[in-house]
Structure 1
Amino acid sequence: MHPLAFVSSDWQKSLPVLAVIGVIAWIALFLTDPVSERALFAGLLVIYMVHQTEEHLWPGGFRQFTNDHIFHSGRADWPVTEGGVALVNIGFVWLPVALAALFPGPLRWVGLAWIGLTLVNAVIHIATSIRFRIYNPGLATSVLLFLPYSIGVLALFASRGTLSGTQITLVILLGIILHLPVAALFVVPYLRARAARKTDTVAAG
């Protein structure tokens, strides 16, 4: 199997081990300073791995849920594909959050933007379950981890005076904006395929 294909299909199997390693590393590095910005951004990465475990491993099924309930595509792996999911979760989550944890000074607003992304992501999971009146993969960790963590971090920064009310609004706005390229990755090919089907139908008629 090609390495990229292996990553696309099996990356989620590493999540429990990575999460445990992340917890151990976090304790070793930040136990004496648990609320520094570096520690909080590093903690966000570990929390994301737990969330991704729920979405894609146990119980899993986020990709299939989205294709079925959101897109009604009739296909388990389209338009939300294995490769697309791997790209988003590794490239769009792990990489920027890890960089913010490593370089919290120059990349502080990267970390803050992904805090906003986390908060908005939690709201989307909750709203989706309310809309369809059904569990969606990622809901439990959204309620138990994402919401309290992201709100707690923003409240902590506000209490320190390191984030103003206007800046917190900007953080949330960035969280919304950051969802747009993720949505486009799946929505654009879906809309193109639907438009092509309509064109073929008209031509055939």
Structure 2
Amino acid sequence: MRWYVRHFYDVGLAVGFIALACGVLVSLDTLQQILLLSFAVLCVHEFEEYGWPGGFPSYMNRVMFPKIAARLGKESGPSDRYILNQVNSVFVNVLAAYPFYAVPIFFPDLIWLGLAPILFNLVELLIHGVGAVVATKSPYNPGLLSCLPWLVLSVWYIVEVTRNDLASGADWAIAVGYLIVWIVVALPVGTFVLLSDRNSRYPFAPEELSRFEKYTRRIHTVIHP
């Protein structure tokens, strides 16, 4: 358990490569190929955030959350375990995100099921590419680069379902509703309420935290608190 929560993103990178291999070896239709690639990018995205160049735990706990907490009149916590720790990172990135992205691959005819993660790709792009960049006045934040292939895949998927008239108004409505429910359950409730703990026994390891400094020294940034 402890080994996995410490290395989930390393394991996830291997899972992403396996997904790509399946895409080559298994006969899939176009929508399945897009969804499979989107899942593979998810694995790369998480590795970029936590593994290489990494730094997302420090970035979230030392930079972003203190800004949010100050506006809400709340206190931040130990930056090695609050508001993110290893356990709630596994929850949101694996237990919540893997099924959300992987299940639609097996049910490509349920367009709303595939649309939800495709739309979330665009949400992630807005968070990393606009919100975080503006908030920190930094040209880079952990996870930004891997959002770019998500943009291509999302546009491709939407073009495919639109051109072939595969998505009804109900599909779009259900997809948006499902996405909103998933975001609320996965992020505010699951990650930041139920599983956040200032006294968590699963803090991030020193080497995970030090990755933050490694890349901030190499780019022009003012994201240091």
Taking structure 1 as the reference length, what is the TM-score of the superposition?
A: 0.77
Partner of 1:88, secondary structure, is helix
| CA distances 1:26-72 after superposition (whole Å, capped 9, x unpaired) | 11114xx551x322222221111111111111111212211112212
1:129-144 equivalences in 2 (<5 Å): 129-134=133-138, 135-142=140-147, 144=148
Partner of 1:116: 119
Q: RMSD of the alignment, in Å?
A: 2.6
Q: What are the ranges of 5 or more consecutive residues in structure 1 without an aligned counterpart?
A: 194-205
CA distance in 1: counterparts of 2:173 and 2:57, whole angstroms:
30
The answer for the alignment partner of 1:188 in structure 2 is 193
1:22 has 2:19 as partner: yes
Partner residue in 2 for 1:145: 149
CA–CA separation in structure 1 for the residues paired with 2:55 and 2:29 = 33
User: Residues 88, 51 of structure 1: CA spacing in aligned structure 2 closer, same or farther, 3 A cutoff?
Assistant: same
Identify if the C-alpha distance between structure 1 residues 21 and 39 changes in structure 2 by more than 3 Å, giving closer, same or farther. same
Q: Distance in 2 between matches of 1:191 and 1:82?
A: 10
**1:77: how far off?**
1.9
Runs of at least 5 residues in structure 2 that lack an aligned partner in the other structure: 67-75, 199-225
Q: Indicate conservation of the 8 Å contact 2:36/2:105, yes or no.
A: yes
Distance 2:97 2:141 in 1: 20
For residue 83 of structure 2, the aligned residue among 75, 79, 84 is 79
Give the 4+ runs in structure 1 shifted more than 3 A: 164-177, 189-193
Partner secondary structure for residue 109 of structure 1: helix
Question: What percent identity do the matched residue pairs reach?
Answer: 22
Partner residue of 1:9 out of 6, 21, 30: 6
Structure 2 contact 8–90 (Cα < 8 Å) conserved: yes
Alignment CA distance shift 1:165-1:130 (3 Å): farther
In 1: Cα distance, 2:196 partner to 2:90 partner: 21
